[in-house]
Structure 1
Amino acid sequence: MPGTGRFSTLLILLAATATLRCTGPNTPTPPPPPPPDPAAVEITCPQPVTVASLRGEPTVVVYGQATAISGAPPVTVSCTPQSGGAFPVGTSTVTCLATDARQRTAPCTFTITVTSPPRISLTRVVAFGDSMTSGEIPGLGLNPFTGGFLVDPGSAYPRRLEVALVGRYTAQTPFVRNQGLSGEQAIQGRSRLSGVLAGAGYEVLLLMEGANDLLFGEAKAVDPAVSAMQFMVRDAKSRGLRVFLATLPPQNPLACCPRRGNAAAFVEPYNNRLRSLAAAEGVTLVDVYPAFNGDTTTLIDFDGLHPTAAGYQRIADTFFKSITQTLELPPTLTWDPRAMVTGGFLIRRR
């Protein structure tokens, strides 16, 4: 038909123009796809914490922060009980919770352990003996009034032992009374001990004596000294005291002057008798002699008999080890504010 070609051409031109208008520079850009959802919230708790309570009471504990490692920001973290609060003796659980902007949550937990201080079953102690109990130290010189060596109560083994006991048993008040008498023999001490113990309320006897009995290096002195020690052990036991019987430290027969180590050869035979006595009487042996490891130069003073300050410390350490091994109690107290009659503790009977 005439004109049909021109009409087709016009349609083609109109379609092309429409296409150009749709794809022109002013065509709006389609919006980007939405971002992926943030990862689920996660939380990491601090490591467990263990602290000691000095007096067995609730103790303030500061712990590290819990950390949120994912989630839609902002992410808040809270922990209960809070850091800086007082935690009771025992193990408590802390729960931390992370919450992100989409209210998704993640918990974690860790523990706070508050240990109670160690406790000892008996606290009233008396140390009985001669100058090695009173604390004579030849290196300090002579006492101008008595002619004997000067005594240093602060270096004496009973005082050094008391310091160690007080430092360990902080919830209690242990004490060690020094009843050493310079120059005393065991055969003299048997009568004095009864007066020391009578009505004093002591619970523990630390007994180390016999060096003056052996002083002149005579074998015949061993039997009477051992017999006197047995009498004193039985006297204390009859009064309900716990007895710790100590061997004598070594002596240096070559030391001088004065030369007081003359009985060096009789010390171990005497000690062996004491070891048998302790076993027979069922009392605790405190073996001081081997604790010196044969050191009679730095632990024994120039007279060959008396310990130095370091030697007295060694004796105290030996008693301390024996006492903690035999008298220390396992933890038995749990803090409970309802237990007012026991000062805030529930006592778990065994």
Structure 2
Amino acid sequence: MTPLLRGLVVALAAGGAILGQAGCSNPTRPSPPPPTPALTLACPSAVVVGAAPEVPAPVTYPAPIPSGGTAPVSVKCSVPSGGAFAAGDTDVVCTATDSATPPHQASCVFTVSVRQEFTVEASRFLAFGDSITAGAVEYNDSVASILEIERDKAYPTVLRDLLAQRYPRQDISVLNAGYQGEPAGCALGASFCGASRISRVIDESRPHALLLLQGVIDLSEGGLSSVSQMLDGLKFMVRDARRRGVTHIFISTLLPQKPGSRAWAMDAIVPANARIRDLAASEGVYLVDAYAGMVGQEAIFIGKDGLHPTPEGYQALARIFFEAIRDRLETVVTTPGGVQRTLDVSAAGPHVEVGPQFRRPPVRLR
């Protein structure tokens, strides 16, 4: 190697050492940005609205909270906050959508429950009548017709349970004043009938409402010729109850019958019921059309003797009376002043319950 070439190699080596000491080595690449967190959506807890003044009810609920995803993120719900909710439970489905390409979505579900609270204008009921009111149960599967009074299956007992379930804040009572074998009107010279008994029963029980189902014994004894006796007895009982301060009077048509050992008045039932409907209209009392509600289902509702209901029949009869009472005497518990308001629960805690007194957290009504 020539002296010139050897000098050049030494110079290059020295330059490299200097560069290395100066930190001019190859630079490293920067770290990539962290990944975008997955999009999630948190819905509010269940919302319960008690004593809504009317339905559908407008309800304002806390906004669902999105996290993650690419901003901005939009949220839409199947029923918006402040929207109208029907009575019962409504599942609200909310979906968050971010701005990624393509966009990501996340969903959640919560329930809004709207309850209505009801009250009934009467709390003491008097069920007056014969063995059908007393609870004489007849079965279809027995070999012989064995008629027994079963108070737990009687329509007044079943009716009391229905009323208590519907109006839990009220002390509901239904007195069973059924008397087996008793006609509505007294035959000439007789004193055994509903018309002669009702005054004492009303004075002793002081009911708010009278439930009157009687007259089939009159027809069983005299057929069509006894319709006038039946009507006279029913009219006397209606007017006597009114004189004695009974506010609400319900009178029922007679039940349908089917062939059997005690179906002695099948031909008289329809014309007698037409007269009972006329009586209810003329006297201005509430009609309970038990015949219309049970006819065509005698095989299920009427027992082997053709006259007395089965347990299923008593359930149906109680339901018919219940619906008549509900339709005539029920009112909805409303907010003070009776003005419809937006139920705002948007600032409440994780489980929201809105309604009248003793509800927590408090509600802002606007």
* Matched-pair contact (CA < 8 Å) for 2:116–2:332: no
Q: State the Cα distance separating 1:209 from its structure 2 match.
A: 0.2
Q: Tell me the equivalent position of 1:167.
A: 165
* Matched-pair contact (CA < 8 Å) for 2:132–2:178: yes
Q: Tell me the equivalent position of 1:93.
A: none
Q: Which runs of 5+ in 1 are unaligned?
A: 1-5, 54-62, 72-109, 141-147, 339-350
Q: Counterparts of 1:288 and 1:130 in 2: how far apart (Å)?
A: 15
Q: Work out whether 1:279 is the aligned partner of 2:299.
A: no
User: Secondary structure of 2:149's match?
Assistant: coil
> Identity across aligned pairs (percent)?
36
Q: Work out whether 1:335 is the aligned partner of 2:337.
A: no
Q: Which range moved further: 308-317 or 289-298? A: 289-298
Q: Check 1:41–1:283 CA distance in 2 against 1; reply closer, same or farther (3 A cut).
A: same
- TM-score normalised to the size of structure 1? 0.66
Q: Counterparts of 1:160 and 1:174 in 2: how far apart (Å)?
A: 12
Q: Tell me the equivalent position of 1:208.
A: 213
Q: Check 1:217–1:265 CA distance in 2 against 1; reply closer, same or farther (3 A cut).
A: farther
Q: Counterparts of 1:120 and 1:47 in 2: how far apart (Å)?
A: 33
* Matched-pair contact (CA < 8 Å) for 2:257–2:306: yes
User: Secondary structure of 1:186's match?
Assistant: coil
Q: Which residue among 242, 245, 249 is the counterpart of 2:251?
A: 245
- TM-score normalised to the size of structure 2? 0.64
Q: Counterparts of 1:40 and 1:216 in 2: how far apart (Å)?
A: 83
* Matched-pair contact (CA < 8 Å) for 1:132–1:306: yes
Q: Counterparts of 2:320 and 2:31 in 1: how far apart (Å)?
A: 79
The AA in structure 1 aligned to 2:329 is: L
* Matched-pair contact (CA < 8 Å) for 1:155–1:312: yes
Q: Counterparts of 1:181 and 1:210 in 2: how far apart (Å)?
A: 12
User: Secondary structure of 2:287's match?
Assistant: strand
Q: Counterparts of 1:43 and 1:150 in 2: how far apart (Å)?
A: 63
Q: Tell me the equivalent position of 2:89.
A: none
Q: Counterparts of 2:111 and 2:287 in 1: how far apart (Å)?
A: 42
Q: Which runs of 5+ in 2 are unaligned?
A: 52-60, 70-109, 141-145, 186-192, 336-354, 360-366
Q: How many residues align?
A: 274
Q: Tell me the equivalent position of 2:42.
A: 44
User: Secondary structure of 1:248's match?
Assistant: coil
Question: Which is bigger in relative contact order (C-alpha 8 A, separation at least 6)?
Answer: 2
Q: How does 1:298-317 map to 2 (within 5 A)?
A: 298-317=300-319
Q: Tell me the equivalent position of 1:231.
A: 236
* Matched-pair contact (CA < 8 Å) for 2:153–2:311: yes
Q: Counterparts of 2:114 and 2:170 in 1: how far apart (Å)?
A: 18
Q: Tell me the equivalent position of 1:191.
A: 196
Q: State the Cα distance separating 1:39 from its structure 2 match.
A: 7.8
